[in-house]
Amino acid sequence: MHIFLLLLDLLINGAFAFYTLVTRPDSFYQVLIVMLFFFAFRALSLSVHIGWSIANLILLVWLWKYDGLYVLVAYLLYASLYIYLSSRELRMRELEEQNRLLQLSNQSLRQLRIMQEQLEQQRAQTILFEERSRISQKIHDMLGHSLVAALLQLEAALSLRQSNPEKSFQMVETSTGTLREGVEHIRGVVREMNISPGVRKFSELELLVEELQTRSGRPIQLTLRGDPQQIPYRYWGIFTSQLEESLSNSVRHSQATELFVRLDVLPKHVRFEVRDNGESGVNISPGMGIESMKERAMAVGGRLILDATQGVSVTSLLPLEEES
């Protein structure tokens, strides 16, 4: 922009110098010198500070007697153009800065989501390891107890084989029952291992509903539609936080007597709604834990939907990832 303004300034100076040469040839050199200073101060103001343009106004005193009004009008138009172009350039710089900050924000958000996914994967692996350790310990305890008890009973039966055959036979039967009971326990543990994480997390959600129902004294109805195995592991924490926060808000603000919790697994989204039968038209303010619920939903690419037309409804709509 500065080059364009300097060229425009040079055009104005050249035009006035030519006008002076035609109308006042005897004063041409005096005007030319002044115009050169004019151009010098203009270049200085554009490169250093706009304040140097004041010197051009002072030089108009020497040019006034040579029809300096033409120069004044030309420079007023020039100043208007300069202000317009400067404001436009400033606006463009602001937009570029905003765009740069937005790109940095998007990049940070992508990195945050990647870190969150990695953290969730590590967390899932840790939970899987802990679950396997718990099950192996459970099998060890059950099998060890059954084997030790059966071994002691068989050794005792063996010692009574000659002196008390009937008692020995009863102890063999008892040890057989002990071993059979141990086998059934192990089968139960194996069946537990085959339960998918999604089903297990929904069972935990059911237990939480029962606990909150007992704590609050308000009935809570939980409904599931769809396959919970498709729900990403990190979503369950969002659901439990939303349920607890929504229950707290319902008790304190909407005077609700009953809650309805619905979990829908849709083709492309997971929808988790907590609705109460409290007062309608309640003013839902950010101080009611809404911002934290909204941030958790946005962190996974979802959104939070609020509705207070019939009671208070808080719904998380989260994307269902294909790989999940």
For residue 312, the 8-state DSSP code is: -
Q: Are 223 and 263 in contact (CB under 8 A)?
A: yes
Burial 28-39 (b: 16+ CB within 10 A, else e): beebeebbeebb
- Of 108-122, 167-181, 202-216, 250-264, where does mean pLDDT reach its minimum? 108-122
User: Is residue 52's pLDDT more than 60?
Assistant: no
- Specify the DSSP element, H or E, that contains 318: strand 313-319
Q: How far apart are CA 187 and CA 181, in angstroms?
A: 10
Per cent of the chain over pLDDT 90 is: 10
Q: Cα 136 vs. chain centroid, distance in angstroms?
A: 38
Q: How far apart are CA 19 and CA 138, in angstroms?
A: 105
Comparing 298 with 196, the larger pLDDT belongs to 298
**Domains plus CATH for the chain?**
2-66 (no CATH), 124-193 (1.20.5), 197-319 (3.30.565.10)
pLDDT score, position 315: 94
Q: How far apart are CA 275 and CA 307, in angstroms?
A: 9
Comparing 233 with 53, the larger pLDDT belongs to 233
pLDDT score, position 8: 60
Reported as a pLDDT band with limits 50, 70 and 90, residue 111 is confident
Q: How far apart are CA 164 and CA 172, in angstroms?
A: 13
Provide the strand spans (E) within 165-246.
Answer: 220-225
pLDDT score, position 304: 92
Q: Mean per-residue pLDDT for 244-267? A: 86
| CA-closest candidate to residue 258, choices 291, 223, 225, 216 | 216
Q: What is the pLDDT of residues 10-20, one digit of tens each?
A: 666 666 666 66
For residue 274, which amino acid is it? V
Q: What is the pLDDT of residues 75-105, one digit of tens each?
A: 666 566 666 666 777 788 888 888 888 888 7
Reported as a pLDDT band with limits 50, 70 and 90, residue 318 is very high
Torsion of CA 139, 142, 148, 152, to 10 degrees: -150
- Specify the DSSP element, H or E, that contains 304: strand 303-307
Q: What is the mean pLDDT of the chain?
A: 75
pLDDT score, position 19: 65
Q: Mean per-residue pLDDT for 64-69? A: 59
Comparing 95 with 4, the larger pLDDT belongs to 95
pLDDT score, position 324: 39
- Of 78-87, 238-247, 260-269, where does mean pLDDT reach its minimum? 78-87
User: Is residue 317's pLDDT more than 90?
Assistant: yes
Q: Mean per-residue pLDDT for 104-131? A: 72
